[in-house]
Structure 1
């Protein structure tokens, strides 16, 4: 007798149990995880969140995000560390996800110079535990967060998924590239379908306090100077949060399949030896840092006191995404204009902090 394929077995299980499609999301108290969980719940998915509630930034903001999600009857959550494999496995065995979206991890380029061990433990050990659990459960699709930082010192713009990425310039980026390599090996060895996202400077309401938009807005409203590195001559592909999570939602159904003949279409990052693909998610529009600051000032109606500084270690001059692959897979492309996105963030910020 021929054993059912992974997809056939999962489809039969869902029909038998008559449940909503279940998605396990790590980092649901975080910025991106919160927005993704909110979208998927609105689209009719059942979501189980897993978050450590670490104090890298204000835990009260994380708790508020989770509290909002918990108003939906189809959301459950567990507080725990990715490094706690026993807890992670117990929770997943109980929930039995069809899909896993792994967004949790230690973020921030600059903090990786202060506390690199936290990146090793969370991003590498934690991601290994996710890979193990996903393989044991034979999920339909594992989707994992990487970063545009893996492009490192690459100079050819815009960045394409098929570019060689061996020149990371921060330990944060190095851990994320390591996760990409680990995931590819699991996809090859066990047939685990994996999609890696490379995010490009995500921003929007409920954003992280360590990100530039949050810090600049807070400082300008308080009359404090803002630090502008490389004298403002830096470029980022700012990606609005709603665009990002919409892309992730659509990619859930774009399950990679290993090509039988090892041939891959031009421009596709699909591995010739595994059901594994890397996908950029960006706005495909680089914005100069000084223009970004101008947009914040215009929305606030306040001129900032600017403190110009040299480039920081581990930072890169420019990020700019080619998102043709995302478009071809999903027929979707992020499009929110920077001024519109900044305006939405500032409206949320002033309301949330009563400023």
Structure 2
């Protein structure tokens, strides 16, 4: 039985990764602050984040903790002695990193160094999966971008994520550590509580409100359904060929905001859209090439945007997040 330690395991993507391991009978430990990154609003009832875990909470151990508290983290890891660590705990949104730079620095870089320092002293084998971001590429200079394409982040979040990659590679080479790196993009689906674009679109559409669109709708993103992202992270954590590698883990086909809106309009008739300026921090993006993940890991994304959005809309009709 494999022991799997997941930081941010109560989060949007982390909870789906945890479920994959729990469903196959592995020993799963979720380490989470249970902090929610939302703008405070006294008129809104905060969602119960444990809803993400309700179907398998009896199969896991929940540990409340902060990855920046190094002593607590070390004691916990030395007690569990995990075979796999999947590090997903961090400030999750690019626009928030700009406003909360110190929090972003600590939660992305500080926590990663804490793990590397602790794991380097392990006497047993352990793979560390570092969750990076497609924002490391900045403006895409090719479409699609491969893992070897130029990295030139345009904002704070991508800069810290790329810095984390560099630090991971340095520790890996210096101490012969088992590390793999994943780069997701535009993840969406049930139980997202961080107000990403498709969540906001669907929620407004279900409430009969116009959609607020950055730009004219032509912005293209490689939208990735949460279960596909979880599949790829699971493979990066378990496959022998993932050691020392970096993987794009997306749908592998960018589509425009306008296309997403048209799908929503098919499912929720009468939806209107209002267009505005594109935030200055937002890079020009497109498709991420997932050939490497397909070839080395057997990654096989299942959900195109139409299928994923239909499922997500149906979920939000009946659930708060």
- Which interval holds the TM-score relative to the shorter structure? over 0.9
Match of 1:203 in 2: 188
- The answer to which of 53-62 and 186-195 deviates more is 53-62
Is 1:36 the equivalent of 2:17? yes
Shift in Å, 1:117: 1.2
Shift in Å, 1:66: 3.8
8 Å contact kept, 1:53–1:79: yes
Match of 1:3 in 2: none
Is 1:150 the equivalent of 2:136? yes
Provide the secondary structure at the position in 1 that maps to 2:245: strand
Match of 1:312 in 2: 279
- Cα separation, 2, equivalents of 1:339 and 1:147: 23
Shift in Å, 1:256: 5.1
Provide the secondary structure at the position in 2 that maps to 1:197: strand
Aligned ranges 1:253-332 → 2 under 5 Å: 253-255=238-240, 276-304=244-272, 306-332=273-299
Provide the secondary structure at the position in 1 that maps to 2:141: coil
Match of 2:309 in 1: 342
Question: Aligned in 2, Cα 1:107/1:123: closer, same or farther, shift over 3 Å?
Answer: same
Aligned ranges 1:1-355 → 2 under 5 Å: 20-57=1-38, 60-72=47-59, 75-137=60-122, 138-165=124-151, 167-255=152-240, 276-304=244-272, 306-353=273-320
8 Å contact kept, 2:139–2:154: yes
Q: Mind listing any 5+ residue stretches in structure 2 that lack a counterpart?
A: 39-44
Shift in Å, 1:164: 2.5
- Cα separation, 1, equivalents of 2:175 and 2:194: 39
- Cα separation, 2, equivalents of 1:214 and 1:44: 31
Cα RMSD between the aligned structures? 1.8
Find the structure with the greater CA-based Rg. 1
8 Å contact kept, 2:133–2:182: yes
- Cα separation, 2, equivalents of 1:298 and 1:209: 25
- The answer to which of 109-118 and 187-196 deviates more is 109-118
Q: Mind listing any 5+ residue stretches in structure 1 that lack a counterpart?
A: 1-19, 258-274
Deviations 1:150-174 (A, max 9, x none): 0002311111011221x10110101
Provide the secondary structure at the position in 2 that maps to 1:110: helix
Question: Aligned in 2, Cα 1:182/1:59: closer, same or farther, shift over 3 Å?
Answer: farther
- Cα separation, 2, equivalents of 1:102 and 1:168: 21
- Cα separation, 2, equivalents of 1:132 and 1:302: 54
- Cα separation, 1, equivalents of 2:117 and 2:289: 31
8 Å contact kept, 2:210–2:271: no
Provide the secondary structure at the position in 2 that maps to 1:179: helix
8 Å contact kept, 1:232–1:290: yes
- Cα separation, 2, equivalents of 1:67 and 1:190: 39
- Cα separation, 1, equivalents of 2:238 and 2:15: 20
Match of 2:41 in 1: none
Match of 1:4 in 2: none
Match of 1:17 in 2: none
8 Å contact kept, 1:27–1:103: yes
Number of residue pairs the alignment of both structures matches: 314
Runs of 4+ in 1 over 3 A off after TM superposition: 57-61, 66-69
- Cα separation, 2, equivalents of 1:208 and 1:297: 22
Shift in Å, 1:59: 5.9
Deviations 1:100-127 (A, max 9, x none): 1111111111112211111011111011
8 Å contact kept, 1:152–1:169: yes
Match of 2:42 in 1: none
